[in-house]
A and B are shown apart, each in its own frame.
Chain A
Amino acid sequence: ETGVTQTPRHLVMGMTNKKSLKCEQHLGHNAMYWYKQSAKKPLELMFVYSLEERVENNSVPSRFSPECPNSSHLFLHLHTLQPEDSALYLCASSHPGKAYGYTFGSGTRLTVV
């Protein structure tokens, strides 16, 4: 366990489905992030939340919708995805200003069929 818990670990969904990814941390961190990791691509930053407020949105398609109800929980709502959205979705948290880096969850392996 990393301290950042992501569920589910694996998800297969059709292009017309709606699903949500969940991330939870109880490390006392006040910033949370969604990253997408595809084969042969760098980790792509999707969304950043600081103190439950979205502070960065890297031109992510609207079929991805984040939600941060409190500083411990982060969701990524998915709808009408495309096969090219298949990837490992990683949640991370951090405490800005401290030299401890990001703590990543184990990720959700998403396959869109």
Chain B
Amino acid sequence: GQQVMQIPQYQHVQEGEDFTTYCNSSTTLSNIQWYKQRPGGHPVFLIQLVKSGEVKKQKRLTFQFGEAKKNSSLHITATQTTDVGTYFCAGNSNSGYALNFGKGTSLLVTP
């Protein structure tokens, strides 16, 4: 079955440093979504990418979908303590109905 893998599992940065998490799928995806879960909270939808090579930005967050539609990345510029949480990618293949989530990358930002 389809698997979505994320690296790294954990990342600890100083406030102001950049952060990147990577997502890879074993199969071609029809779309990829990114979610953020704060400690003690629930996943919150951030963005969806659909097109090959697509790049989208939300303030300090940059999302990228690979040309082959099998990998994606989330880059945060100049992290802030409010960025703390676990970032999940989730992929949907053409044959699957629901999203398959990666294990997530837990980001810790220290002031």
- Chains A and B bind each other: yes
B42 touches A101 (CB 8 A): no
Provide the A97-113 mask, 1 if CB < 8 A to any CB of B, else 0.
Answer: 00111111111000000
Task: For A99, list chain B residues within 8 Å (CB).
Answer: 48, 50
In this assembly, does A51 line the interface, its C-beta being within 8 Å of a C-beta of chain B? no
Question: A42 vs B102: C-alpha distance in the bound complex, in angstroms?
Answer: 6
Task: For B101, list chain A residues within 8 Å (CB).
Answer: 35, 42-43, 45
Closest to A44 in B: B101
Given contacts A33-B98, A55-B97, contact A101 B103 (CB under 8 A): no
Give the one of A40, A42, A105 with max B CB within 10 A.
A42
Please classify the interface of chain B as helix (H, G, I), strand (E, B), loop, or mixed, using the class held by over half of its residues.
strand
In this assembly, does B78 line the interface, its C-beta being within 8 Å of a C-beta of chain A? no
Say which size band chain B's interface belongs to.
Answer: 20 to 34
Provide the A48-74 mask, 1 if CB < 8 A to any CB of B, else 0.
Answer: 101000011000000000000000000
Task: For B4, list chain A residues within 8 Å (CB).
Answer: 42
Give the number of residue pairs across the A-B interface with Cβ within 8 Å. Answer: 51
List 4 A-B pairs, minimum CB-CB distance, nearest first: A101-B45, A43-B101, A104-B42, A42-B103
Question: A42 vs B44: C-alpha distance in the bound complex, in angstroms?
Answer: 15
Shortest Cβ distance from residue A3 to the other chain B in the assembled complex, whole angstroms? 11
In this assembly, does B88 line the interface, its C-beta being within 8 Å of a C-beta of chain A? yes
In this assembly, does B100 line the interface, its C-beta being within 8 Å of a C-beta of chain A? yes
Give the one of B41, B42, B46, B50 with max A CB within 10 A.
B42
B104 touches A90 (CB 8 A): no
Shortest Cβ distance from residue A29 to the other chain B in the assembled complex, whole angstroms? 12
A48 touches B98 (CB 8 A): yes
Question: A42 vs B3: C-alpha distance in the bound complex, in angstroms?
Answer: 11
Within 8 A of A (CB), among B1-44: 4, 33, 35, 41-44
